Structure 1
């Protein structure tokens, strides 16, 4: 069951990469440019290795589903709803890379009315919830730490670029 569940989540990630690539083409055609490209391969490695290590931990430890699996599944579904809300709210501006469209009006709807980076919260929660669903605590710990390190680089780059080229400072006072 764990493998099927994770396969579905991985397929969802591939679908998101297709959306991101489509949005990238549109953004570039509008004059957007990428920032933070140097850390992007590390982010891809982080997200890819998360699933590899999680599957390895589940396989090697022969873990069972968590005793609170149903609760965690409901939390995961809620987090996925938040992910979809983020993607839908940003529309063509949503991407896995950081693209800046000069002089654009920053999206300030959906979850972005309440939080600056709700999609990063979604990812952080997934790095906890997915491993906990299958009692893979090593994966939960190590990828939470690695993700925090990644976000400590990524968020300042994104915010600096948005402040310099868009109405970000005005939108998020």
Structure 2
């Protein structure tokens, strides 16, 4: 079990790195007139994601969940893939990526990297990690509780983000003039 605690602590360290990047990107966005949306749900999101990490350790150690290789190794691969996808999103968005919903008015939507494949790939990473990380060591109760709480929160977050992106989208380009 000690290696699982190391894995969860590494994910916690990754979260701290995300917050450092987000703070820097918040300053970048605000200098460019960035507007924050959805402040009300942000503390709930932070608490839920902190609870995921705490729940992983509490359930594994408190309930004595055993490591089952047939489940644990595939879930470890999925948890690592979720981290890779998250950092691909961060790298693609550059200074526009944030843990908060901050939109700089007039900037076009990003359609490169994972955003060429889907509109909100970072949330796919969140969903996969929320199920996979606990299941690496059989913490099925944590996986189920996190998912049950995360689904409505993600619905709020997606509505907020889509509205924010729609409100700040640049106007469509005028059609090119044609000559007869």
TM-score (structure 2 length as normaliser): 0.90
Partner SS state of residue 68, structure 2:
coil
Residue of 140, 144, 160 corresponding to 1:141:
144
Residue of 34, 37, 58 corresponding to 1:35:
37
Partner SS state of residue 115, structure 1:
coil
Alignment of 1:64-83 (within 5 A): 64-68=66-70, 69-83=72-86
Partner of 2:125: 122
Cα RMSD (Å): 1.6
TM-score (structure 1 length as normaliser): 0.93
Q: Deviations over 1:39-59 (max 9, x none)?
A: 111111111111112211111
Higher Cα Rg: structure 1 or 2? 2
- Find the aligned partners of 2:8 and 2:172 in 1 and give their Cα distance: 39
1:157 is the counterpart of 2:160: yes
1:17 is the counterpart of 2:19: yes
Aligned length: 170
- Find the aligned partners of 1:163 and 1:99 in 2 and give their Cα distance: 13
Q: Which runs of 4+ in 1 moved over 6 A?
A: none
User: Structure 1 residues 112 and 167 mapped into 2: Cα distance closer, same or farther (>3 Å)?
Assistant: farther
Q: CA deviation at 1:75?
A: 2.1
Q: CA deviation at 1:168?
A: 9.4
Alignment of 1:103-114 (within 5 A): 103-114=106-117
Q: Deviations over 1:63-105 (max 9, x none)?
A: 1222222222222222221111111011000000000111111
Partner SS state of residue 127, structure 2:
helix
User: Structure 1 residues 61 and 151 mapped into 2: Cα distance closer, same or farther (>3 Å)?
Assistant: same
Unpaired runs of 5+ in structure 1? none
